Amino acid sequence: MPRPRSEQARRSVLDAMRAALSSDGYESVTIEGLAAEAGVSKQTIYRWWSSKAAILGEALLEGSLPTPSLPVTDDLAADLRAWFSAMSAQAGDGATVELARALIAVTATDAELGAALNKRLADPIVEQIVARLSVAQEAGEVRKDVDAAAVADQFIAVSSYAALLGRGLDEARVDALVEVLLRGIAAREDGASRP
C-alpha cells in the first residue's frame, strides 16, 4: 500500500518548483534539483507526480496569480487600451514568459490539468471583459449580438502570444488592436447590426 503524501514535503516540492521557475526557468528545472531543494528523495517525487509538468501544474493551481484589473470608465476604447497595456507590461517580464511556455508544456502533457490551469488563469480575465462589454452593450456602444466571451478569448490569445514571445505590445500596436476590435463590435449609428 503506497505511503500517504506528507503535506509538508508536498508543499516543499511545490515551493521549490515555483522558486526554480522564477529563477532559472522551466527548461532548467530537474527532478534532482527539486528533490534537493525540497529536501525529499527523487523517488518520493516520482511516486507523487508523473512528470515535472505535473508538479508545475499543481504548483500553479495552488499559487497566487496576478490578474490585472480592467478599468470601467465611460470610455470603452480607453478601458480596452489600459487592459492591453497592463497585460503587455507583464508579457515582457521573464517570469511571465517562463510561465507561458511552461503552461504550454503542461497542457501538452496533461490535457485535464492544462484545462484546469487555463480555466484558473483565464476565467477572471474573461469575467472582467464580459462585464465591461455588457456595460458597453447596455450603453449602445457595442452591438447586442456580440459574443463577449469570444471577444475575451481574442484578448487572451493576443496577450498569451505576446507573453510567449517575451515582448510586450507597444502603444501603436495596442491602439491598432483596439481600433480593429472596436470596428468589429461597435453598434452602427442607425442601431442596425452589421452584416
Q: 75-133, pLDDT tens digit by residue?
A: 999 999 988 887 766 655 566 666 777 777 778 788 888 888 878 878 888 899 999 99
pLDDT of residue 187: 87
* Per-residue pLDDT tens over the stretch 169-195: 888 999 999 999 999 999 876 544 444
* Per-residue pLDDT tens over the stretch 24-50: 777 788 999 999 999 999 999 999 998
Given a contact cutoff of 8 angstroms between Cβ atoms, the answer to whether 53 and 106 are in contact is yes
* Higher pLDDT, residue 4 or 157: 157
* DSSP β-bridge partners for residue 142: 186
Q: Spell out the residues 6+ positions from residue 184 whose beta carbon is closer than 8 angstroms to its own.
A: none
Residue showing cell 503552461: 103
